[in-house]
Structure 1
Amino acid sequence: MPTAGAYAQQADKPSAPVVVQPGAPGEPSKTLPSTTRPSLPPLSAADISFMQGMIMHHSQAVEMTALIPSHTQNKDVRALGAKISRSQADEIHMMERWLAVRGQPTSMTMPDMDMSGKPMAPMPGMLTPAQMEALRNARGTEFDHLFLTGMIQHHNGALIMVKDLFSTAGAGQDADIFNFATDVDNSQQAEIRIMQNMLKELSEDQR
């Protein structure tokens, strides 16, 4: 006959984990086998394109902020640039991991022509080669103005990309993408307002 100590040992013995799958509205939940393992949600072509495109988009922003230390002494521009550089570099790493886990390339090839033979429109908000060259050649207040106007343009482009993602059927359902895209929308709208105020202050200082 088992002793009290044996009963205690049995009570302390961990039981197998219970995996419960919530049922649809009006239906009961299901208890799944303990061997059940989580699986990734189905891939959406729009999700993949969004992440690949946003890596390219963020990379230009990081390139822009890398000019700041040698091109301006403006403390506010320097502080903002450091924040943008740090956050977008971290997000690039996150997007690269998300794509790699799903066996997808981390870069995308942008065709020169669309299906009708017309030149492809640039990614929303991306600075043109001429704009980037002007930014590289500017210094001081001129650089501050070009950087802020260029980054506002750049951020607005990211907001368009998020809007396009969520307006595509079946896209943006993955939890990681939904959270990331929502954060991009909120944080970049806030930074746009900050940069607009900084531009206003620059204009007032030049009067």
Structure 2
Amino acid sequence: MFAALTAATLLCAAVTACGTQSAAAPTPGDDATSHTHPTPHAHPTADPHTHPTPETHSTTHTHPSTAKTLPADFNTTDAAWLQLMIPMNEQFLQLLDLTPTHSHDPAVRRLAATLAAAHRTEIAALKALRAKASLPATNIHAGHDMPGMLRPDELDALSNLHGPAFDKILTAEIHDHLQQSAKVIHSVKTAGKSPTVKSLAIQIEKTRTIQLTTARTTLPH
């Protein structure tokens, strides 16, 4: 993960992207402080987790007609949040699915299984709303370097780790994902239009609080 933007900046950028052909890619927010993770030992030559600043962030290609084609009860903030949360959750599941065979800690494996089940439920609800909003099923963030998510090379490196080495990286990534996905909810709560989207966002926000508390007491330090 990388030194991230604020949650407000994330969805502001996402809303802008809905109205332009090549707008700045929506990026989830965090504090302005840097946040890096240890490089998995299996790839000692891998680049450190440094990522582009907001000024040099890659662009996302969206359809300029998005805002015009949304149903009346959705706005571009709703759309941006849905199109961000789905890939965030799906990529997080890839990480969690490594845990049964890569972690040697029963408590870590139990937490990962609980988180995986909850995120699959969230994805189903998010996709239902995406369909209701007439949004494309494609991942508009594919290939982008996003906070709260691993790059493909990072996920590959993690897949080569086992035991405490795996658990150390997993712990950092779980905290990152839970915190980032909770932070981006603020903007959709305040600037979103769909009551159903807001209701789901509030539900996920409450769930994240519980999940973070559980993670802090369960995962190795």
Q: 1:181, 1:86 → 2: CA distance? A: 18
Amino acid in structure 1 at the alignment position of 2:108: V
Q: Residue deviations 1:98-153, cap 9 Å, x none?
A: 221332213342387xxxxxxx7x33311233432332111011111211111101
Correspondence for 1:52: 83
Q: 2:217, 2:157 → 1: CA distance? A: 22
Corresponding residue to 2:97 among 38, 41, 66: 66
Corresponding residue to 1:157 among 176, 180, 205: 180
Q: 44-53 or 158-167, which moves further after superposition? A: 158-167
Note the C-alpha offset of 1:84. 1.1
Note the C-alpha offset of 1:179. 1.8
1:123 is paired with a residue of what secondary structure? coil
Note the C-alpha offset of 1:175. 2.6
Correspondence for 1:15: none
Unaligned runs of 5+ in 2: 1-70
Correspondence for 1:178: 198
| RMSD across aligned positions (CA) | 2.2
**Structure of greater relative contact order (alpha carbons < 8 Å, 6+ residues apart):** 2
Q: Residue deviations 1:62-87, cap 9 Å, x none?
A: 11111011112311111111111111
Q: Is the 8 A contact 2:96 2:112 kept in 1?
A: yes
Higher-Rg structure is 1
How many equivalent residue pairs? 151
User: Is 1:134 the counterpart of 2:157 in the alignment?
Assistant: yes
Note the C-alpha offset of 1:46. 1.1
Closer/same/farther in 2, CA of residues 111 and 58 from structure 1, 3 Å limit = closer
Q: 1:130, 1:195 → 2: CA distance? A: 25
Q: 2:188, 2:73 → 1: CA distance? A: 16
TM-score normalised to structure 2 length: 0.61
Q: 185-194 or 63-72, which moves further after superposition? A: 185-194
Alignment of 1:81-160 (within 5 A): 81-110=112-141, 122-160=145-183
Note the C-alpha offset of 1:59. 0.2
TM-score normalised to structure 1 length: 0.65
Q: Is the 8 A contact 1:55 1:107 kept in 2?
A: no
Amino acid in structure 2 at the alignment position of 1:179: S
Q: 1:62, 1:145 → 2: CA distance? A: 17
Q: Residue deviations 1:15-60, cap 9 Å, x none?
A: xxxxxxxxxxxxxxxxxxxxxxxxx752211101111111100001
Q: Is the 8 A contact 2:93 2:116 kept in 1?
A: yes
Q: Is the 8 A contact 1:57 1:126 kept in 2?
A: yes
